[in-house]
Chains A and B, each alone.
Chain A
Amino acid sequence: MSNTTNRPKITPSKSALKIDGLTVSYGDKTAIFSVDANFPIASMSAIIGPNGAGKSTLLKAVIGVQPKLSGQIHIFDNPIENNLKKIAYVPQRVSVDWDFPTNVIDVVQMGLYRQVGLLGRMKGKQASIAMECLDRVGMADLWQKQIGQLSGGQQQRVFLARALAQDAEIYLLDEPFSGVDAATERAIIDVLKSLKSKNKSIIAVHHDLATVRDYFDYVLMINIKNIAEGLINETFTNENLQSAYGGKLELTHAEELSATKDRVTE
């Protein structure tokens, strides 16, 4: 595979999340096969690839929701097992039932459950943390709203606020911009950039190739197996996009994406 030459040449002294030989399968079907990755600290990293490439599976295997067949996962050079509390996970919005009888602030407070424990009280301090996190995603005035009445974008912001409440070092997001309005996309990106400026590491599964260059500075391309990994400027190239997406991406389209920063629609 000629593409493997695009494996990272710039190896950071310390990585936020390092994956070695991760393999996951559902029954007989291999979802991801021997994937390596090395996401740098204090950067915004995208995981891209076609549908069914195993992007979400990769995240789920990292946090232990999906059992892995083999592979090692390290965060900040330590095995992940005892360091899971350094990770905040933002699942896909559609993965839960929004008819669940609860309100916005209650969902955000779930991000504090590890901190307050099973019976610890949500005292003034915790309550104000939750409100502050809601404020950061621009949802403070909706704190009492029933979650079933939120729009898709608002649901996504609530999930982000819940992750913020965990005060983690690494944020793993599964398609955070999927099905959200433009204002929400802007708000989420602003929050993520401010996290990055505080030396937090952001890793997001992303599907909109047109915005990869604008939003991210590091990219992992997979399609079951590794395709390429590295800094956006070096890695987000026509050649790599072609091998990740195969014939699914028009040649001219790929050239446009990799060559310019112009917005193009998929």
Chain B
Amino acid sequence: MITEFIQFSLTPILIGILAGISCAVPGNFLILKRQALIGDAISHVVLPGIVVAFIFTGVISTIPMLLGAAGAALVAVMLIEIIKRLGKIEPGAAMGVVFTGMFALGVLILEQTDTSKVHLDVEHALMGNLESLIWLKAQGWQSLFDLDVLKTLPDELFRIIFVCGFILFLTVIFWRWLKIVTFDEEYARTIGIHSSIINFSLVIITAIAAVAAFESVGSIIVIAMFICPPAAARLMTNKLGIQVIWSIVFAILAAIFGYIIAGYGPLWFGSENSVSAAGMIAVVSGIILLLTCMYGPCRESVGQKKD
């Protein structure tokens, strides 16, 4: 039982947790800047970039995927600008067309590509492949201390550990800048903080989180990880630092309960199949948001007009 858990469930849960944290932490700042949908946009736009990077390199690895994603983001920005100018339509509409268009393009290219050797097909790109990230060599808890066995852990785990650590490190180091640029961008500039660099970095970090989480939870569901945990966290506290910690807690809870319910939930209802873990993680984070909307201690103070 324990061995089975470690072989089949430990790594997916860990990856789900780390992917959730990687998205939730930058998500806090996106939400407070009222730019929550940047996460959505980025997670859509990166898909064709990731696919094209895969076609060129033939492997799924982080650096080419990031470069591909960055290229795709660049193309998206240019396309939005062109459509805005030539079509004379409002920016929101131009963005909507470009994001969904590029996402659809990514899906089409992916369908035409031979990906039989690796886990990259349309279904995985959309919904992730958490369940397949297993650790067969594990023999029980003692494997956690056996270096040779640890080496057989899925590469995705090491990548997400690195990305999550990187994001947390930057957040701690640049905490004050992030806070003041998010709260009062103009003032931040007057005290010598380069707001535009911070804003740009936040978008880059969001893209890195989206690319890293893409492998495990897929590019649609990643949006739930950007928005739900921080939005729920905002309703728990009136302090930014505590909000970020709550968002991490909610991301962890969503990953654990989402995975367990997806894997075992249907059995409890007599069904023999499990459901998508990534999908269920998104559902659980949505439920967490719903619960905080109803019972969160600070929900009165948010979004109301004073004076």
Contacts and interface: CB of A to CB of B under 8 A. Distances in A.
A84 interface: yes
Given A100-B32, A101-B234, A118-B177, A110 B190 contact: no
Contacts of B307: 151-152, 179
Nearest to A162: B187
Interface residues of B, number: 32
Nearest to A60: B186
Contact of B301 (A64, A99, A119, A179): A99
Contacts of B187: 89, 91, 110, 162
Contacts of A99: 301-303
A248 interface: no
Given A84-B190, A101-B240, A102-B239, A148 B182 contact: no
Contacts of A63: 186, 189-190
B301 A149 contact: yes
A97 B192 contact: no
B193 interface: yes
B237 interface: yes
A97 B186 contact: no
Contacts of B192: 84-85, 114
B7 interface: no
Contacts of B184: 91, 95-96, 110
Among B179, B186, B243, B302, which residue has the most Cβ atoms of chain A within 10 A? B186
A162 to B, nearest CB: 8
B306 A102 contact: no
Contacts of A149: 301, 306
A146 B301 contact: yes
A117 to B, nearest CB: 8
A113 B181 CA distance: 12
B183 interface: yes
B294 interface: no
B239 A101 contact: yes
A96 B180 CA distance: 11
Contact of A87 (B190, B240, B298): B190
Contacts of A110: 179-180, 183-184, 187, 191
Chain A: interface secondary structure?
Answer: mixed
A98 interface: yes
Among A85, A87, A100, A151, which residue has the most Cβ atoms of chain B within 10 A? A100
Contact of B180 (A98, A113, A151): A113
A65 interface: yes
Contacts of A209: none
A191 interface: no
Nearest to A166: B191
A126 interface: no
Contacts of B302: 99, 148
Contacts of A89: 186-187, 190
Contacts of B191: 85, 110-111, 113-114, 166
A129 interface: no
A243 interface: no
20 contacts: A63-B186, A63-B189, A63-B190, A64-B189, A65-B186, A84-B190, A89-B187, A91-B184, A95-B186, A100-B32, A101-B240, A101-B242, A103-B239, A107-B183, A110-B183, A113-B193, A118-B174, A148-B302, A149-B301, A179-B307
Interface of B: 32, 34, 173-174, 176-177, 179-180, 182-184, 186-187, 189-193, 234, 237-240, 242-243, 298, 301-304, 306-307
